[in-house]
Amino acid sequence: MRFATSSALVLTLLAAAPAVAAPVTYAIDDMHSAAHFKVKHLMVSNVRGSFPALKGTVVYDAAHPEKSTVEATIDVASVDTGNAKRDGHLKSADFFDVEKFPAMTFRSTRVAKVGKDGLSVVGNLTLHGVTKPVTLQVALPAKAAKDPWGNMRTGTEATTHLDRRDYGLTWNKAVETGGVLVGDDIAISLELELIEQAAK
């Protein structure tokens, strides 16, 4: 009788315990996501551009963020700075050499919670045939919303900085007044909309 009572108590406690959220898998919505960049021009102004052709998968574990993972691929030929001539130069062998290196990829290796509403996502970025570790500062995913077609969506933003020379992107020209035509520090910002995938 005492054993039965104890068992009932355990079952009651288990039923009352809050459910632990399971990891959720998301696909990056390439129609509503992009990777943006900013670089100095002539040391006096900024040129901005983006890579709108972005796809990938995010597995987010809200209970254990450190178990989350990110994989993404960018079509480098999608580069868009708002100027066709400049975009053509960026696609050439002087810069991205898209015929030889058509994609850049990112695969996370470590995720950590930062403060109340942020994540640090460390991973390997492969660009222009070179793989280097980078760290993304990522906002926690927004509260999920259901779209008109019944899909659950969330979104997040991420930022980092790269030195383009680390990836063999060294083309430049000196200017008469000092300095160079193109800066080396690249500010990166990602805007991602994520679609929840059905659990397998």
pLDDT tens digits for range 113-131: 999 999 999 999 999 999 9
Calculate the dihedral angle through the C-alpha atoms of 149, 152, 158, 163, rounding to the nearest 10 degrees.
-60
Predicted pLDDT of residue 178: 85
Least confident of 39-43, 134-138, 175-179: 175-179
- What are the tens digits of pLDDT across the range 52-72? 999 999 999 999 999 999 999
Domains of the chain, residue spans: 21-196
Element (H, E) at 2: helix 2-16
Q: Which two tokens stand for residue 59?
A: 């597995």
Q: Is the pLDDT of residue 77 over 70?
A: yes
What pLDDT, on a 0 to 100 scale, did the predictor assign at position 15?
52
- Fold held by 21-196: Lipocalin (2.40.128)
pTM of the model: 0.86
Cα dist. 133→40, 121, 125, 191 in Å?
Answer: 23, 10, 6, 20
Q: Is the pLDDT of residue 13 over 50?
A: no
Q: Are 154 and 148 in contact (CB under 8 A)?
A: no
pLDDT for res 1: 45
pLDDT, tens digit, 9 for 90 and up, residues 16-36: 545 557 899 999 999 999 999
